[in-house]
C-alpha cells in the first residue's frame, strides 16, 4: 500500500512539473516576442548617440564622439557626423539558444549591429545582449566566448 501511494505521488508530481514548464515556455516566447517588438519600436523613434563604449575594460567612447545614430525601419543603420555618413545594418531578434554567451539578459533578446567599415565601427558589429532599456537609454553587453572579456555599449536618445 505504501508503495502505491509513493508511486501515485511521484507520478502526480511529474505531471504537475511538466505542465508548469510548458506554460512557462509559452510565456517566455510571448515575452521575448513582445520585447523584440518593443525594442525595435523604441530605436526607430529617434536618433541616438553612444554615451559609453567599453571594449574589454578600455573606454573607447571618444571614437564615436559627434556621431548621431539612426536605426531605420528597413534595418539600415546610419551614423552621421557632419558630412560623414557611415552605413550599417541592425536587427533585434529572439535568441533561444541557451548555450550562447549571455548572462540571462532581457528574455535572451539580441540587438544585432553590423558595420563593414571603418575599423572603429566594425568593433560595434556583434549580437549584443540587452542589459537594460528605458524610453531614452539602451545598455548592451557582450561577453566574449573566447577570453570571457566584457564589452558594454550604451546608446542614449538625442
Confidence label for 139 from pLDDT (cuts 50, 70 and 90) = very high
Return the H-helix or E-strand segment holding 90: strand 84-94
pLDDT tens string 5-48: 655 555 655 565 555 444 444 434 344 566 899 999 999 999 99
Question: Would you state the pLDDT for residue 84?
Answer: 98
pLDDT for position 55: 95
Q: What fold characterizes domain 37-157?
A: Lipocalin (2.40.128)
For the chain, give every domain's residue range: 37-157
CB neighbour burial string for 26-65, b if at least 16 within 10 angstroms, e if fewer: eeeeeebeebbeebbebbeeebbbbeebebeeeebeebbe
Amino acid at each position: 500500500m505504501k508503495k502505491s501511494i509513493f508511486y501515485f505521488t511521484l507520478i502526480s508530481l511529474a505531471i504537475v512539473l511538466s505542465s508548469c514548464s510548458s506554460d512557462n515556455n509559452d510565456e517566455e516566447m510571448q515575452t521575448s516576442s513582445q520585447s523584440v517588438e518593443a525594442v525595435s519600436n523604441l530605436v526607430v523613434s529617434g536618433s541616438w548617440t553612444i554615451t559609453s563604449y567599453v571594449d574589454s575594460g578600455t573606454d573607447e567612447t571618444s571614437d564615436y564622439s559627434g556621431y548621431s545614430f539612426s536605426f531605420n525601419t528597413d534595418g539600415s543603420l546610419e551614423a552621421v557626423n557632419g558630412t560623414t555618413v557611415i552605413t550599417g545594418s541592425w536587427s533585434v531578434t529572439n535568441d533561444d539558444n541557451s548555450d550562447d554567451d549571455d548572462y540571462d539578459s532581457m528574455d535572451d533578446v539580441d540587438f544585432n549591429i553590423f558595420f563593414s567599415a571603418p575599423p572603429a565601427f566594425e568593433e560595434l558589429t556583434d549580437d549584443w545582449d540587452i542589459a537594460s532599456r528605458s524610453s531614452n537609454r539602451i545598455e548592451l553587453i557582450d561577453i566574449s566566448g573566447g577570453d570571457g572579456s566584457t564589452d558594454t555599449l550604451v546608446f542614449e536618445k538625442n
